[in-house]
Amino acid sequence: MVDALNLGNPAGDIAVIFSEGVNPSSGTNPANYSINNGASIASAVMSSNPNAVLLRASGLTVGASYTITVNNVQDLANNPVAANSTVVVEQNLHTWYRMDETGGTTTADSSGNGRNGTLVGGVLPGYVGEVLRALKFDGIGGHVAGPNTANDFSTNGMTIAVWANPTASLTPWARFIDYGNGPASDNILFARAGASADLTSKFTTLEFPAAKSQPLA
């Protein structure tokens, strides 16, 4: 188990991410999961990704911290996950776009920090998503424009998490994330590596490490 993220929807869904695929029979047993601080797990379902399980929790309180404990979950080869594996549920995010709006030209920042994004160009809301709804991009110029920010990630670093379902061909350097002050100026890029099926991250400041690439899962 490598991560857990509060999805922030009214149902109280939490995405639990494992390092490898999970056996559905054990992964979807809600008795195999527990959560602290007065919350409880009502159900568990597999995501479309075999490494992810969606838990439905009740009793979550805004501002409280939670830890998920997992027991008796097995991988696809029926090997057990380590007993009493725990992970802290991520909630204090810098910016969080659920992109589940049914209309309009704004996508709300669910982190509570008010960094709402603006839908620009060919972006259509209200499509079926992994959880609730999703935005559909035209693959040409459609994007979400975030607000200007002067945050410094050089000390604590940053994590980028994206749920996307590309349906077009491998467009060279197609962006998932692209922040900056203009060409080669404090840029943070998360995109395809050229025309390949790999992903790459690039940072054009002295404070960030060199670019890293990895294949799509």
Q: What is the pLDDT of residues 104-143, one digit of tens each?
A: 999 998 777 789 999 999 999 988 876 678 899 988 889 9
What's the pLDDT score for residue 185? 74
pLDDT for residue 205 is more than 60: no
Token representation of residue 27: 């992964």
- 33 and 86 housed in the same domain: yes
- 124 and 208 housed in the same domain: yes
- 112 and 195 housed in the same domain: yes
pLDDT for residue 12 is more than 70: yes
Averaged pLDDT, 47-67: 87
CA triplet 29, 15, 94: central angle to 5 degrees? 160
In a domain, 96, yes or no: no
State which residues form the domain around 137: 106-215
Averaged pLDDT, 193-197: 84
In a domain, 99, yes or no: no
Averaged pLDDT, 175-184: 82
Confidence of residue 201 (pLDDT cuts 50, 70, 90): confident
In DSSP terms, which residues pair with 52 in a beta bridge?
17
Q: Whole-angstrom Cα distance, residue 175 to residue 199? A: 10
C-alpha dihedral, 58 to 60 to 66 to 68, nearest 10° = 20
- 72 and 158 housed in the same domain: no
Q: Which of 48, 64, 90 is the last residue of a domain?
A: 90
- 210 and 113 housed in the same domain: yes
Q: Whole-angstrom Cα distance, residue 56 to residue 177? A: 29
Q: In this prediction, what percent of the chain has a pLDDT beyond 70?
A: 89
